[in-house]
Amino acid sequence: MNTLKEMDTIPALKPITAAWITGLLNKPDDLSGLLEKWGSPVNIHHTASFEQNYEEYRQVFEELDLDHLVFFARKANKCKGFVTKAKKMGIGVDTASLEELAQCLEAGIAPEKLVVTAAVKNRELIKLALHNRVLVIVDNEDEAHQIQAMAEELGSYAKIGIRISGFFYEGEKLYSRFGFDIEEVEGFLRNRVGEGKSLSRLQYSGLHFHLNGYSTDQRSVALIQSMELAKRLQAHHFSTQFIDIGGGFLMNYLESREQWLKFQEELRAAVSLKRPPITFGNDGLGFSLIDGKIQGGLNTYSFWNDTCKSGFLKKILSYSLPDGTDIASMAKQLNIQIRMEPGRSLLDQAGITVSRVAFRKKDSRGDWLIGLEMNMTQLYSSSADFLLDPYVINKETLSDAEAVGVYFTGAYCLERDIVLKRKISLPQLPAIGDLVVFINTAGYMMHFFESNAHLFPLAVNLFVKEETFGSPLTDFEED
Ligand SMILES: *Cc1c(COP(=O)(O)O)cnc(C)c1O
């Protein structure tokens, strides 16, 4: 058999692992106890990491002496625990639905620290926002009229920002299905918004954008074009108090760039049939073999990044125009507050998912399948796959163990319920009851797409109680 040789070449992708996680990995009995109590899988969260991530952003703004407000994009994680933490930290929360907004208000977050950016805003959401004087980001004219109608009904006014898109970048317009085209905003505000006009109850206060993708240059250029628009609006007495640059701040999941490059090289080789598969069914994750040639690109998040979080923000804000003026000076000169709405990156190292092994079997291709007490929606990426090696905690370490490559499979009765599409190399075959720990899953991964098909209950979400971190079981509270 060539298995050992093959095992050696299954590329690893070792995740950056915060100290609190390593601490838990070293307490396998406590972790097993949690799963006995709460079922499998459980999601465990840690708000101190969330706070640290915010601190990084805050420092960048402080260094540049910029007026700023950071909103946590709530949609990246459903737990209330981060809302409570955001309140304690005095940061804002970006809400994208009625329920998200209602929870934040109930948690006592000040209305001026909230924003509604929901893609679809129903009457109830608009009503709640207006009633509490929460800023609403307007996406289109129909929405503006619905807000006007609700304000009339309530006898109130609506504090609004305008979402814009269609920025010019390298000679072309950046497409987005969201927002007003930047070229239409001036006319819209001048002709429609304000006293004596059809949208008399809308009070303009700022501009907002959220770009798809992860380009800092595009964000810089969009911010400059927004500031230029703000200047033109000022001439017509529309005062821009803030520009919100949205989210999409890259983070880094991996320890090694070499591993990241090696993985892609091996994946291309596997898809070209030059080596044994390293993904389930030789899934190319975006690469495919057409007419003997490898086509396409990796269709996943870029799990390795050198410019991330605060470095990413710094790069956006330190962009200079050909005449030497930079973004930070422009914003200060215009007296504009810079806002941002990071979701994923504020949750860096803030959560893990722990699951239990139910069975092992060999499939007809000869691959080991490790059945987990969880399903694919409990670790589901909006891109092709989540590419980090999990940690496996073996109850018993075997002295005569052989390395093995495995696929983790889930509990839904679907062929496609493969929890990770990557083949994972392990020092020994996991046993029933062993734990599999997925790192850094708090941002989008653990429950953004979670469903309860088969009536499986949703995973329980626990938070590490910061003040008592260190003693068993009582360390955690349910969200
Ligand atoms: C999704 C979203 C965010 C957060 O994006 P991240 O990639 O999680 O940082 C912020 N603002 C808006 C409007 C969004 O749609």
Is residue 338 pLDDT above 60, yes or no?
yes
Confidence at residue 1, expressed as pLDDT on a 0 to 100 scale: 41
CA distance 61 to 167: 24
Cis bond upstream, residue 28 (ω within 30): no
Q: Which pTM does this prediction carry?
A: 0.95
Is residue 2 pLDDT above 60, yes or no?
no
CA distance 124 to 97: 10
The residue-averaged pLDDT of 473-477 equals 74
Give the residue among 219, 178, 218 at the shortest CA–CA distance from 339: 219
Residue 4 — pLDDT band, cuts 50, 70, 90?
very low
Segment 263-310, tens digit of pLDDT: 999 999 999 999 999 999 999 999 999 999 999 999 999 999 999 999
Segment 380-404, tens digit of pLDDT: 988 999 999 999 999 999 999 999 9
Q: Which residue has the higher pLDDT, 341 or 9?
A: 341
The residue-averaged pLDDT of 162-187 equals 97
Give percent of the chain with pLDDT exceeding 90.
93
CA distance 124 to 325: 44
189 Cα to the center of ligand 1, angstroms: 25
Segment 118-165, tens digit of pLDDT: 999 999 999 999 999 999 999 999 999 999 999 999 999 999 999 999
Confidence at residue 5, expressed as pLDDT on a 0 to 100 scale: 57
The neighbour count for residue 158, using CB atoms within 10 Å, is 23
Segment 202-229, tens digit of pLDDT: 999 999 999 999 999 999 999 999 999 9
236 Cα to the center of ligand 1, angstroms: 31
Segment 28-83, tens digit of pLDDT: 999 999 999 999 999 999 999 999 999 999 999 999 999 999 999 999 999 999 99
The residue-averaged pLDDT of 349-354 equals 98
Q: Which DSSP state fits 379?
A: G
77 Cα to the center of ligand 1, angstroms: 11
**Checking DSSP bridges between strand 42-45 and strand 351-362, what pairing results, if any?**
antiparallel
Is residue 349 pLDDT above 80, yes or no?
yes
Q: Which residue has the higher pLDDT, 358 or 475?
A: 358
Segment 419-462, tens digit of pLDDT: 999 999 999 999 999 999 999 999 999 999 999 999 999 999 99
74 Cα to the center of ligand 1, angstroms: 9
The residue whose C-alpha atom lies closest to atom 5 belonging to ligand 1 is 247
Which residues have any ligand 1 atom within 6 Å of their CB? 73, 75-76, 94, 117, 210, 246-249, 341-345
Task: State both tokens at 347.
Answer: 């949750």
Is residue 315 pLDDT above 60, yes or no?
yes
